Amino acid sequence: MASSAEADLRTRIQDWLPKIVLAPSFAVTLLFVYGFILFTVFLSFTGSKMLPNYTLVGWENYRKLWALENWHIAIVNIGIFASLYIVICTVLGLFLAIFLDQKIRGEGVLRPIYLYPMALSFIVTGTAWKWFLDPGIGLEHVMHLWGWESFSFTWIKDNNMAIYTIVIAAVWQTSGFVMAMFLAGLRGIDNEILKAAQIDGASSFQLYRRIVIPMLRPAFLSSFVILSHLAIKSYDLVIALTGGGPGRATEMPATFMYSYTFTRNQMGIGAASAVIMLMTIAAIMVPYLYAELKEKH
Amino acid sequence: MSAVSQDTAVNTGRIARTFIYLLLLLFALFYLLPLYVMVVNSLKPLAEVTGGNMMALPQTWTLEAWKSAWSTAQIGVSPTGLEPYFLNSILMVVPAVVISTVIGALNGYVLTKWRFRFDTIVFGLMLFSCFIPFQIVLIPMAMVLGKLGLAGTVPGLVLVHVVYGIGFTTLYYRNYYATFPTELVRAAQIDGAGFFRIFWRILLPISGPITVVSVIWQFTNIWNDFLFGVSFGGTSQPMTAALNNLVQSSTGVKEYNVHFAGAIIAALPTLFVYIVAGRYFVRGLMAGSVKG
């Protein structure tokens, strides 16, 4: 009897083991992700200033947030930045991948050159471009030394143009990675399909437009998801490249949230801005993830 | 004819090909230019950077800027150079990568081979956590780290990176193990093999490619992280926060050559990883995340 009870216990432990192994991760996710999200949502309805404070103030923080000039600048900037960044990276990545897929000699050398910026942190990228774009020692100065005296490139110091320098640096960093994703997609397409189309008299242009590009749909989707995810997190690059300046010209929601929460002692407003960032990301990610998960069942 | 199957089926004319080569080379220049500028100017004395041409090779080659960036440059209030912060980053990144990868592998194994009710919901919740903007957790995380006595310490940063890293590692291993035939696991079960034995003997030996992806992904993400480092690093700040301090310091003369040397030092570990294993990374990433 004893041995069968023992065996029974052992089977039961074996049955429970998978759940026991997964449980800590799930508990940590529930607490550190969803618990924390709820707490931040709660804070956004409180009068927290420098420290958390649990008196409820209703929608007050959201009302204040949307009345702030800085927040409007941040919203406009993220709109400009995210759309340009996503579109340029996708177009550039797609074309580089298609060109690199034409039996190019030296592809093995070119690919890592396109890809390596992805290995760098946004802080390193920001540092490099900050000085390269600096009119005093960077590109403008070089052009003057080379004899093009009238050359002027002062975007990084210009309130209206500084946001585009962030686009340049971000595209530089990520477009090669997008290229690699499209290239992998292109390599996965069956050549027989392309040959058949060619025999039917399709031109190269038609071939790509009608057959190849539609078949790259998964790569488009993945790169869109990764790029929009990176865009809304854009904190590091702004800090390193422009510090949010000149003035507040390159303020983004990520920098706004940080400065209101930790340096301006407006934690309630900071929390409200974080909630809006999360909502924006959720609006993009949830349908995508839902479709991904549903497809597999 | 044997080579034909590998070629793309598209034929391009001579002019088009020349155009394509030119364009590809132009973009190679675009990607290399900032690196070239950083390397070249880190090897010049400061006077040559400020007074000379950024594109020119050094007239006097010197490693002074590198030495200064590593051991004597002013970081925040003390002239320690980047060395102690580099060590902080190493102490943070190694345990964080190992722990999150091991947990991810086990989670992936459970979620694909030991299905149970609600497993899709569990996975869905973990998956969404990969994509949250971390601003949403900054305030409570700061409070919890303070309560645990881990604020401003390397173990605190390890905890943060493990917590927000397991979503991705679980995703990678789950998608990878999903393609592995479950019948083999069932057969081993019938032969009396237990949970860990099956993992150790059957799943682990085939996990090489996805482990490369998981380790590279975690390594670059954690090494390059700035937001958590600057928020929770305190006196144990990682390399990215220190580099930013160095570059943004408003006191004294701007030592561009030292900034460039520091930036390269900060980038070396991840660059090394990409150059050695970048190929496997992209290949594995595509297999893991796109086809799923």
φ, ψ of residue B192 in degrees (nearest 5)? 95, 10
- Quickly name the fold that domain A69-295 has: MetI-like fold (1.10.3720)
Beta bridge partners of B78: B75
CATH 1.10.3720.10, domain B83-290, yes or no: yes
pLDDT band at B1 (very low <50, low <70, confident <90, very high): very low
Cβ contacts of B227 on chain A, cutoff 8 Å = 233, 235-236, 258
Cβ contacts of B288 on chain A, cutoff 8 Å = none
Asked whether the beta carbons of residue B270 and residue A121 sit closer than 8 angstroms, the reply is yes
pTM of the shown model: 0.88
Candidate from B144, B256, B278 with C-beta closest to A115: B278
Which pLDDT score, from 0 to 100, does residue A181 have?
87
Cβ contacts of A267 on chain B, cutoff 8 Å = 139
Q: With CA atoms as reference, report the closest residue to A194 among A182, A180, A206, A179.
A: A206
pLDDT band at B159 (very low <50, low <70, confident <90, very high): very high
How far apart, in whole angstroms, are the C-alpha atoms of residue B243 and residue A133? 19
Residue B279 has pLDDT above 80, yes or no: no
Which pLDDT score, from 0 to 100, does residue A83 have?
95
What residues does each domain of chain B span?
12-71, 83-290
Distance from CA of B283 to the nearest CA of A (A): 7
Put simply, the chain A residues between 175 and 234 with a CB less than 8 A from any chain B CB are 176, 180-181, 184-186, 188, 191, 194-195, 198, 204, 207-208, 218-219, 222, 225, 229, 232-233
Q: CB–CB of A277/A44 below 8 Å?
A: no
Which pLDDT score, from 0 to 100, does residue B285 have?
67
Q: CB–CB of B257/B66 below 8 Å?
A: no
Which pLDDT score, from 0 to 100, does residue B290 have?
43
Q: Cα B14 to the chain's mean position, in Å? A: 40
Which pLDDT score, from 0 to 100, does residue B134 have?
92
Which tokens go with B22?
A: 């030119």
What residues does each domain of chain A span?
69-295
Q: CB–CB of B229/B145 below 8 Å?
A: no
Which pLDDT score, from 0 to 100, does residue A5 have?
75
Q: With CA atoms as reference, report the closest residue to A230 among A104, A117, A95, A133.
A: A117
Residue B5 has pLDDT above 70, yes or no: no
Kindly write down the DSSP assignment for every residue of chain B, as one continuous string: -GGGGGS-S----HHHHHHHHHHHHHHHHHHHHHHHHHHHHHTS-HHHHHHS-TTSPPSS---HHHHIIIIIS-BTTB---SHHHHHHHHHHHHHHHHHHHHHHHHHHHHHHHS--TTHHHHHHHHHHGGGS-THHHHHHHHHHHHHHT-TTSHHHHHHHHHHTTHHHHHHHHHHHHTTS-HHHHHHHHHTT--HHHHIIIIIGGG-HHHHHHHHHHHHHHHHH--HHHHHH-TTS--HHHHHHHHHH--SS---HHHHHHHHHHHHHHHHHHHHHHHHHHHHHHIIIII--
Which pLDDT score, from 0 to 100, does residue B92 have?
95
Asked whether the beta carbons of residue A123 and residue B256 sit closer than 8 angstroms, the reply is no
* pLDDT (mean) for B214-219: 92
pLDDT in tens, A47-87: 888 888 888 898 999 999 999 999 999 999 999 999 999 99
Asked whether the beta carbons of residue A119 and residue B273 sit closer than 8 angstroms, the reply is yes
What is the CA angle A197-A202-A206, rounded to 5? 110
Which tokens go with B228?
A: 């958590």
Asked whether the beta carbons of residue A257 and residue B11 sit closer than 8 angstroms, the reply is no
Which pLDDT score, from 0 to 100, does residue A71 have?
95
| Residue B48, C-beta contacts closer than 8 angstroms, at least 6 positions apart | B58, B59, B60
Distance from CA of A12 to the nearest CA of B (A): 12
Cα separations (Å) of B32 from A113, B26, B27, B36, B42?
7, 10, 8, 6, 15
Q: With CA atoms as reference, report the closest residue to A230 among A169, A273, A296.
A: A169
Candidate from B123, B263, B291 with C-beta closest to A127: B263
Which pLDDT score, from 0 to 100, does residue B54 have?
84
ipTM: 0.86
pLDDT band at B199 (very low <50, low <70, confident <90, very high): very high
pLDDT in tens, A231-266: 877 889 999 898 887 888 899 999 999 999 999 989
pLDDT band at B7 (very low <50, low <70, confident <90, very high): very low
Asked whether the beta carbons of residue A102 and residue B12 sit closer than 8 angstroms, the reply is yes
Candidate from B132, B240, B263 with C-beta closest to A33: B132
* pLDDT (mean) for B98-103: 97
CB pairs under 8 A between A and B: 285
Nearest CA in chain A to B46: A137
Regions of chain A where pLDDT drops below 70: 1-3, 295-297
Candidate from A110, A119, A233 with C-beta closest to B24: A110
